[in-house]
Every structure is written in structure tokens, then in C-alpha cells.
């Protein structure tokens, strides 16, 4: 019989003055912290509030981030009570503990949470008694090391867009989930101060999940084709866009750009959306074609935002407009194509409808 070496190891450790520490069979999961953010809470008293109960909520997400940093929290819920809020500036979230799990949601049972960007202000000269509107997003996420979920809120009247997931080359953002939100009245048709780009605008990121959201009235008066429901740019890869609704989007509702790969768009519904396509891949200058992007099992209204029929209609210098399209630089028939293999492919199961599918 083979002898165990464990007793000998123990004796050797004891003889040498070593110590053995017992390790639990299962390490305890990190405790979840809940931080409450009520933008109507008194801002002057922010530093005296714990943020750990609804009655002692802090007034800003900046304060919530400070609390989480001070506690070294890796698992947290950041909850906001129901109500309509008018922030003066966008949320810039950067707290990213390695392996963290952070969820932004509503306080249960308190009703709808609405963030309205129509009162964001800039340093531009005032117009009469009203400050000039500022461009911006509701929220920018630059956290690279944590799983982040944003759910259950209405985001409206921001000029640039709703949520900006801003990774960079060498500092990518991964594993963000955007679910169950409503994005509406975004773009410079609804708020002055810049150009709208997307309900969710993503760069240099991977494995983003965008599920069960509503994207309505995303429109630019100036540069109408620049705003998208979901905009995936600069090597944004392996993301999923599923179960969403897109209605009245002046630009192509799904846009990939510059080497964005292996993204899947499935089970969504589209109505009166798109300038040239429902899903387009576009590049500028020396940018690179995407590849491996799939469009499948979607329901699509027969006509674009402008009422032109997909497959036969003309918009500007592109005829016909199509369900799937790719090209470069100025939108024109002469600039279509140029990618091999095709950056966007149909995975089957897509169908046209002639009445709104919701």
C-alpha cells in the first residue's frame, strides 16, 4: 500500500517552526452592499450621509462611487427611488474592482425611474433667461474590470445619447449588461447642443448584452443618419442585441464600425427605423471592415424612417436601401461594398411586416 506523505509534511513543518492554516472548504461569497442614490436628497449634506439606507441616501452617483471605494466593495446594488430627475451633468462611472459585480436599478416598489437630460447646462452663453443646453450622455461607463448591469430606467432628452460604454485600445470594457430600459427622445431633434450618436454607444468593448430595451424617437434634425439605436465601433466584439424594440430611429438602428466583429442581433422588432439599412457596417478613411456579424430572427417594418421601402426605395444617393448594408465614407452607391467576407450576414428567420409589431 502506498503511504501518504501528509503526516511527514506536518512533522517537517512543526519541526521547522512552520504553521498550517486551515482553509474553508468553500470560500464565502463577498457580501453585497446596497447604496441608495436619490438625486433629490440634500446635496449639501452628502458627506454626512451613509448612503446605506433609503432614508439616508446620497444625492449623486459620484458619492455612491466614493462610498463603494471606501469600503472596497466588489458586489453592490446602486438603487434609485422612483421619480423624474433632471441632472445637470452626465454620470461618469469608473469604479471597477477586479471581478466586481455592480447593478444599477430602481428601489423596488417605488415606481418608474426617469432621467431627463433637458436641463443639462454648458459653459456656453445663456439664451435669454435659460442656460444653453449641454451635449452629453446619461451615463458613461469606463469600468474595465467589473460586470456592470444597468436596468429599469427611462433615459430621455439627452443630446449625444443614452449610455456610452467607452473602452479604449489596451483598456477594453467587458461584460456590461443593459436590460429593461427605455431610451427615448434622444438626439438634437429633441435637445440642442450637439449631435446624437446612439441609445447605447459602444467603443473598444466586448461581450456587451443589450436585451429587452425600448429605443423610441432617436432622431437628429442635423445629421439625421448619425444616430443609431445601438452603435458598436472600434473593435467592439462578441456582443448580443436581443429582444429589443426600435421605433422611429432616424439613422440605421444597428451600426457597426471599424473592425467590430462577431456581434449577434436576434429576436428584435423594428418599425419606421433606418436611413439606408436596418443593420449597417460603415468605415471611414483607413478603417477596417467588420466581420462575423449576424442578423437573425428579427421582425422588420417594410419601410424606413423616411417611409422608403427596403429592397427598392432610394434615400439620397443610395438605391436600393436594404436590410443589411456596408460601405465607406460618404453614403453613395459608388461607396458600397468593398469587404470580403461580408461584414454582416443574415442568419435566417428575419421577416417583414406591414404594421407595427408591438
Q: Express each pLDDT in 27-72 by its tens digit.
A: 555 689 999 999 999 877 667 899 999 999 999 999 999 999 999 9
* Contact call for residues 174 and 129 (beta carbons, < 8 A): no
Q: List, in sequence order, every beta strand (DSSP E) within 260-305.
A: 264-266, 269-273, 279-283, 293-296, 299-301
Neighbours of 26 (CB within 10 A): 6
Helix or strand run (H / E) with residue 215: strand 214-218
Give the confidence band of 125 by pLDDT, cuts at 50, 70, 90. very low
Q: Which sequence spans correspond to the domains of the chain?
A: 31-81, 82-353
Q: Express each pLDDT in 55-67 by its tens digit.
A: 999 999 999 999 9
Q: Which three cell numbers stand for residue 69?
A: 471605494
Is-above-0.85 flag for pTM?
yes
3-state secondary structure of 220: coil
Distance CA 10, CA 16 (A): 10
Fold of 82-353: Pectate Lyase C-like (2.160.20)
Give the confidence band of 168 by pLDDT, cuts at 50, 70, 90. very high
Q: Which three cell numbers stand for residue 8?
A: 511527514
3-state secondary structure of 68: helix
Q: Which three cell numbers stand for residue 84?
A: 423624474
| Sign, Cα dihedral of 91, 166, 94, 245 | positive
Q: Which residues contact 22 (CB under 8 A, 6 or more apart)?
A: none
* Contact call for residues 294 and 279 (beta carbons, < 8 A): no
Mean pLDDT of the chain: 90
Q: Express each pLDDT in 292-336 by its tens digit.
A: 999 999 999 999 999 999 999 999 999 999 999 999 999 999 999
| Mean pLDDT for the stretch of residues 225-232 | 98
Amino acid at each position: 500500500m502506498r503511504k501518504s506523505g501528509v503526516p511527514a509534511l506536518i512533522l517537517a513543518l512543526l519541526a521547522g517552526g512552520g504553521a498550517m492554516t486551515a482553509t474553508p472548504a468553500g470560500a464565502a461569497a463577498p457580501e453585497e452592499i446596497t447604496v441608495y442614490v436619490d438625486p433629490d436628497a440634500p446635496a449639501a449634506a452628502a458627506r454626512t450621509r451613509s448612503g446605506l439606507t433609503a432614508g439616508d441616501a446620497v444625492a449623486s452617483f459620484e458619492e455612491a462611487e466614493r462610498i463603494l471605494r471606501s469600503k472596497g466593495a466588489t458586489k453592490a446594488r446602486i438603487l434609485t427611488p422612483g421619480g423624474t430627475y433632471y441632472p445637470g451633468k452626465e454620470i461618469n462611472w469608473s469604479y471597477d474592482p477586479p471581478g466586481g459585480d455592480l447593478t444599477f436599478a430602481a428601489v423596488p416598489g417605488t415606481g418608474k425611474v426617469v432621467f431627463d437630460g433637458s436641463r443639462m447646462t454648458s459653459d456656453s452663453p445663456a439664451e435669454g433667461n435659460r442656460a444653453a443646453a449641454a451635449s452629453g450622455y446619461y451615463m458613461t461607463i469606463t469600468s474595465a474590470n467589473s460586470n456592470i448591469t444597468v436596468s429599469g430606467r427611462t433615459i430621455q432628452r439627452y443630446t449625444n445619447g443614452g449610455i456610452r460604454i467607452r473602452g479604449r485600445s489596451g483598456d477594453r470594457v467587458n461584460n456590461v449588461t443593459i436590460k429593461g430600459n427605455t431610451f427615448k427622445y434622444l438626439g438634437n431633434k429633441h435637445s440642442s447642443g450637439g449631435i446624437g450618436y446612439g441609445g447605447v454607444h459602444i467603443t473598444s468593448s466586448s461581450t456587451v448584452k443589450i436585451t429587452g430595451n425600448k429605443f423610441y424617437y432617436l432622431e437628429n434634425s442635423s445629421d439625421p443618419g448619425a444616430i443609431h439605436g445601438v452603435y458598436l465601433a472600434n473593435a467592439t466584439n462578441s456582443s448580443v442585441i436581443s429582444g429589443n424594440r426600435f421605433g422611429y430611429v432616424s439613422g440605421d438602428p444597428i451600426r457597426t464600425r471599424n473592425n467590430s466583429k462577431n456581434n449577434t442581433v436576434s429576436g428584435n422588432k423594428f418599425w419606421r427605423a433606418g436611413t439606408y439599412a436596418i443593420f449597417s457596417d460603415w468605415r471611414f478613411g483607413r478603417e477596417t471592415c467588420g466581420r462575423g456579424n449576424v442578423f437573425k430572427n428579427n421582425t422588420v417594418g417594410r419601410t424606413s424612417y423616411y417611409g422608403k421601402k427596403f429592397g427598392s426605395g432610394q434615400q439620397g444617393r443610395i438605391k436600393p436601401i436594404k436590410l443589411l448594408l456596408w460601405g465607406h465614407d460618404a453614403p453613395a452607391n459608388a461607396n458600397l461594398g468593398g469587404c470580403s467576407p461580408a461584414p454582416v450576414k443574415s442568419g435566417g428567420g428575419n421577416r417583414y411586416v406591414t404594421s407595427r409589431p408591438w
